[in-house]
């Protein structure tokens, strides 16, 4: 019985990490999907540019949907940690 529970646990961990790895490519491939915007190199381009230097290398800055995406990932991670903890404690109670 222990082997099947820990096998299930292992598959859940692998699935979680594989999903996160695959989902991490979406913002790189489609930055505008998340409302990301490309900075032109100056901190005064937008009040949302968080650089405190007078100029910096142009790069993409996160949009609001990107922050929601990250928050969703964090919430799902916490939920899965709780589920895995419950699975482990349930297996210990059966023994």
The answer to whether residue 54 scores a pLDDT higher than 60 is no
Name the residue ranges covered by the structural domains of the chain.
2-36+63-94
Q: What is the pLDDT of residues 11-45, one digit of tens each?
A: 888 888 888 888 888 878 888 888 887 776 665 55
Angle at 73 between CA 45 and CA 28, to 5 degrees: 50
pLDDT confidence of residue 38: 78
CA 22 to chain CA mean position, Å: 11
Angle at 26 between CA 58 and CA 85, to 5 degrees: 120
| 95 against 90, higher pLDDT | 90
Specify the 3-state DSSP secondary structure of 36: coil
Sole residue written with tokens 């999907």: 33
Work out whether strand 37-38 and strand 60-61 pair parallel, antiparallel, or are unpaired.
antiparallel
Angle at 57 between CA 68 and CA 26, to 5 degrees: 35
Q: What is the pLDDT of residues 58-83, one digit of tens each?
A: 577 788 888 888 888 888 888 888 88
pTM: 0.62
């Amino acid at each position: 019985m222990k082997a099947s529970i820990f096998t299930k646990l292992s598959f859940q961990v692998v699935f979680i990490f594989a999903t996160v790895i695959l989902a991490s490519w979406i913002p790189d491939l489609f930055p505008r999907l998340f409302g990301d915007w490309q900075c032109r190199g100056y901190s005064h381009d937008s009040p949302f540019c968080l650089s405190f230097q007078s100029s910096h290398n142009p790069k993409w800055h996160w949009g609001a949907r990107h922050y929601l995406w990250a928050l969703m990932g964090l919430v799902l991670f916490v939920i899965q940690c709780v589920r895995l903890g419950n699975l482990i404690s349930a297996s210990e109670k059966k023994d």
